[in-house]
Amino acid sequence: MFQDARLINFIANSLALLAVAALLLGVLVWVAQRPYFAITTMRLQAAEVGTELRFVTASSLNEVVKDKLRGNFFFINLDDTRQLIETTPWVRRARVQRVWPDALTVYVEEHQPLALWNENEMINTWGEVFEAYAAELPEGTQLPQLKGPDDSERLVVQRYAEVARWFAPLQLRVSELALSPRYAWEVTLSDGMRLNLGRDPAADIADPHGRSGALPFAARIERFVEAWPRLAHTLNGRTIAHADLRYPNGFAIKLAPVTPTPSK
């Protein structure tokens, strides 16, 4: 009889505690869902201390997340919010942090544009393709145009760095570097000269990044660059329109037309 009474008291106390816990939980959920905790502010900061954001603005960020955020301060999914923010143009990576009681701080790492890529995209300094508007670049910014098949971004960036390094001492920049679907290269320099470099040995080996084919590729350019001083002296002011570097023991050039000077 005594044991039955203890069991009944234990059950009654447990039920009472469960009822109080359920009541407290209901009150907490009710309080957490009050409009006071709705996300009303989104603060934007650069992910790297001491830097400023150049392309991502609060207005562009709000345009993306507008009407798409789900949940308030307590219930918002930070990972889903991060993925949503990373669809904003110029945002490479983002980190989202709650700020009591109704705000979010978004730390943004921007894409650093290296070049224009194919038709309507850009490629960043990490060799990653992203979508952005070239019109948003600072006035006077000149980016080279890189072109290539899908999944060739890293190889094209690698080759661009090689070509730029070879021609920098000649005070020439790479304006365009194109890789055809057959993995043939063509370069246009800042003075308008076009270089035909032929097929890339990287297309014929298993290594997709072309490391084994880098030396033959560089050798073609090196041969042309080393001959440049003598070549420029021989041309006596004439400019080269096109140079074919595919020959095993040399190269062929085509001179630009001579502009006639008006006679008196």
pLDDT in tens, 163-186: 999 999 999 999 999 999 988 999
Domain that holds residue 106: 36-110
Predicted structure pTM score = 0.77
Q: Which pLDDT tens digits describe the chain residue by residue (264 residues)?
A: 556 667 666 676 676 677 666 665 655 555 445 566 788 888 999 999 888 999 999 888 988 888 888 888 888 999 999 999 999 989 999 999 999 988 999 999 999 999 999 988 999 999 999 998 888 898 889 999 999 999 999 999 999 999 999 999 999 999 999 999 988 999 999 999 999 998 876 555 444 444 444 447 788 899 999 998 888 888 887 889 999 998 888 899 999 887 666 654
151: left (phi over 0), alpha (psi -120 to 50) or beta: left
Is residue 263 assigned to a domain?
Answer: no
What are 137's two structure tokens? 């670049």
Is residue 79 assigned to a domain?
Answer: yes
On whether the CB atoms of residues 74 and 34 are closer than 8 A, the answer is no
The CATH number of the domain holding residue 216 is 3.40.50.11690
Task: Write down which residue in 79, 110, 141 finishes a domain.
Answer: 110
234 and 164 fall within a common domain: yes
113 prior amide bond cis, ω within 30: no
pLDDT in tens, 91-109: 999 999 999 988 999 999 9
The CATH number of the domain holding residue 48 is 3.10.20.310
Instruction: Mention every residue, 6+ apart, whose C-beta is less than 8 A from residue 135.
Output: none
98 and 178 fall within a common domain: no
What are 167's two structure tokens? 């021609």
